[in-house]
Structure 1
Amino acid sequence: MDKLKKYAFPLIIALISSAIFYLSPSLSQTVRPHSPLTQHFVEARVVEIESQQLKPDPQVPSIMTGRQIFSAEILQGEEQGKQVRVTNPLSRQHNVYVKAGDHFIMLVRLKNGEPYYWAYNHKRSPAIYAMLALFLLLLIGFGKQQGLNSIVSLYFTAALIIGVLIPAIFAGWNPILVTIVLIAIKIVVNYILVCGYNTKSLCAMFGTLLGVVAAGLCSQLFGELAHLSGIYLDKGEDVIYLTTAHPIQVRWLMFTAIMISALGAVMDVAISIASCYHELRQTDATLTPKQLRHASMNVGRDIMGTMTNTLILAIAGGSLTTMMMVWGFEMPVIQFINTPLVAMAMVHALAGSIGIVLTIPLTAWLASWLFSSNR
């Protein structure tokens, strides 16, 4: 019975997540953009290289450029088993260099009424699935019950974002309201899975929600002061052309993006402060709420430096090639800091860091209020 209670909540959340993934495609079909192109993707295998004219790229010698012509066997779909002839141009941007026996992803498109076959991409999924399996095994091996709960939490997060948030945005709903509601649900479920339902987790829940909302508001406010909007996000302009019956509110996507990206770091900070307050209170019952609050905030100051670095370095890592371009062209500060891409990255990094910093005192104050003896 105890084991059943122990696994009941994770099982319920896993079932809810699966239901979202199962029902979302049919429920959101009316708001999904429809491509005018008649195309599909299948797995294929290179049977024989018929001819190739290749040479190493002069700037990147590890990349072969030129053209290949080969025969390939389709391994999926209605044309499974059919052999087709593929012309495969290779460049720096599109470089699917294949050898006999290689598996790849083939694009099949109707062109002037005739099927056109193109080597779209390497088959990368086995490496990704192997890495995912390693990650899950490590989580369960080291974390055991907590590791399993973490997997369920990640699964639930994916269900909320893919199955609820994205369809809701395409349906024309306000991204700010939808994001706050979904983030609040995610926070509650995550802390119950990881910490159980108690005063410590309740304190961390409120602290996290306040912190990520503060980050989102800062991102939106200072982004608009800097004349930025969701259109400057990666693929932000392309999203506009995915037309549906309901216009996408691109303006508010900055708020959504920063809340999602800052959530993990803010959750770490909030639970650290709440746990610190709880442990100090358990260790020494003579400490007053004010002393516990100050001690927790002192710990938070140590955490603050590493967590803000974590967030900023993650964004910097994603913008590495942009920084290389800035350095390579010797751009003056007045030029690069006013570039939309750079300004957007800086607003995101700073807004997330502000959310982390504010989470520390907010969670400490919430802890002193929620843990007080008369609550």
Structure 2
Amino acid sequence: MSKSILNVIKDYIDNHKKEKIKYLSIIIISLMIISFFYNNYFLYDTEIAKINSIDEVFEGEEKGPDGDIEKNYTQNIIATIKNGDFKGKEVIIKNKYSSSLVYTDKYKINDDVFITKKVDKNGDITGNITGLKRDKYIVITIVIFILLLILVGKQIGGLVLGGLIVNIGVFYIMIHLYSKGINILLLSVLATFIFSTAFLMISSGINRKTFAAITITLVSVAIVTLLSIIILQYTGGLDYEFMEYLPKPYNTLDADYIFISEIMIGGLGAVMDIAITMVTTVNELIDKNPYISKTDLKNSCTEVGNDVMGTMINVLFFTNLAGCIPIFALSIKNGIKLTTLLTTYIPFEIARFLTGSIGIVITIPIATYLSTRTLKRMCNQ
């Protein structure tokens, strides 16, 4: 009995040895990457200092715009310079911050900070903090995401990661070309096509299901974009004065192009999700029963679409809501009325949410029609 148990354990270890070695290698590589970004000071031209000690002094209180009491502090910091000509030297830094931490930052021991320094006649080095070195935190988050994607999704997770990397590369090229003066709307149309085709082909493979999902995605996004253009054309458009990051002075046509590009790319993820869900449903039903009727397929798609529609619209709602929270928090804290926010900053978020939701709703009947006709016809051939 004991021998049989030992044999089972041995067989299990032998069968999973390669898999364990692979996962262990991934974890070791991940730790090496994190360690590198914790010590990559030599890559920066700006001087970086690691905080060794902090002596904090309370400087008094003052009343804020909304009546809250704001407490002010000064941090007397001693840090060690980690790169440049003064590497290894200590620098004395004063940092002032308020308790709300809205416009100021509070630092702690072992933080890496970017500094500007000054050397006095006695050789003492003083400096000011220009920002916190955050690349290591970003890398940790990315590594955790990739590890979970590979460990949970395994091969599919790796393919999804590959598709994501391709899309990031395409987006980078798109922004680079826009900086060279190429029309943003034209770039967005090309990027939308590449985003949908590349990601779906890499993550789902080159098959009938993928081509159906790509067709549904592109048709749905095209309809939503066309509706947006028509609405902007015949309703007088939006007041772009408060649109984030819009260069001033701006041309209305350029602002329209930017906003339509936001709508086109912003709703793409939700539309792709609906498309692949509906196509997968039809494909599975046909695989299980090649003789299933189109009516039954349509009814099944309608049921799945109704279930998915609510959750995806909520995803869009909370995504846009998350983008509004900082504006709400800062504006209300500084005495700006809610009605002012709703009539200035928030209309853009509302427009993105509504157009994205329209895209989700439109995708369901389009996906039902195209997937049942396309996949059923392929099956019968």
TM-score (norm 2): 0.72
Match of 2:367 among 363, 367, 370: 363
Match of 1:206 among 203, 215, 218: 215
Aligned amino acid, residue 104 of structure 1: D
Deviates more, 1:43-52 or 1:130-139: 43-52
Partner of 1:142: 152
SS at match of 1:68: strand
d(CA) in 2 for partners of 1:49 and 1:133?
Answer: 31
Partner of 1:31: none
Contact 2:263 2:352 in 1 (8 A): yes
1:52 Cα shift? 3.9
Contact 1:191 1:201 in 2 (8 A): yes
Partner of 2:260: 255
Aligned amino acid, residue 88 of structure 2: G
SS at match of 2:106: coil
1:319 Cα shift? 1.3
C-alpha deviations, 1:316-336, integer Å up to 9, x for none? 12213555667997755xx65
1:275 Cα shift? 0.8
1:130 to 1:64, Cα distance in 2 relative to 1, 3 A:
farther
Deviates more, 1:122-131 or 1:152-161: 122-131
C-alpha deviations, 1:238-257, integer Å up to 9, x for none? 797xxxxxxx9443111222
1:106 Cα shift? 1.4
1:266 Cα shift? 1.2
SS at match of 1:144: helix
d(CA) in 2 for partners of 1:51 and 1:87?
Answer: 10
1:269 Cα shift? 0.3
Contact 1:172 1:249 in 2 (8 A): no
Deviates more, 1:89-98 or 1:351-360: 89-98
Partner of 2:358: 354
Larger radius of gyration: 2
Contact 2:328 2:341 in 1 (8 A): no
1:129 aligns with 2:139: yes
Coordinate RMSD, CA, aligned: 3.6
Deviates more, 1:126-135 or 1:188-197: 126-135
Contact 1:41 1:105 in 2 (8 A): no
TM-score (norm 1): 0.73
For these two proteins, the number of residue pairs brought into alignment is: 321
Match of 2:197 among 184, 188, 191: 188
Contact 1:229 1:252 in 2 (8 A): no
1:153 aligns with 2:163: yes
1:341 Cα shift? 1.2
1:85 aligns with 2:89: no
Aligned amino acid, residue 87 of structure 1: K
d(CA) in 1 for partners of 2:197 and 2:76?
Answer: 55
Give the percent of matched residue pairs that are identical in Structure 1 and Structure 2. 24
Gapped regions of structure 2 (runs ≥ 5) = 1-43, 119-124
Match of 1:343 among 332, 344, 347: 347
Q: Which structure ranks higher in relative contact order (CA pairs < 8 Å, sequence separation ≥ 6)?
A: 1
Match of 2:113 among 93, 98, 105: 105
Match of 2:322 among 317, 320, 331: 317
C-alpha deviations, 1:76-126, integer Å up to 9, x for none? 345433433333232433332234x4323214399xxxx994313334333
Aligned amino acid, residue 266 of structure 2: S
Contact 2:93 2:127 in 1 (8 A): yes
Aligned amino acid, residue 106 of structure 1: F
C-alpha deviations, 1:57-92, integer Å up to 9, x for none? 877999863333434322134543343333323243
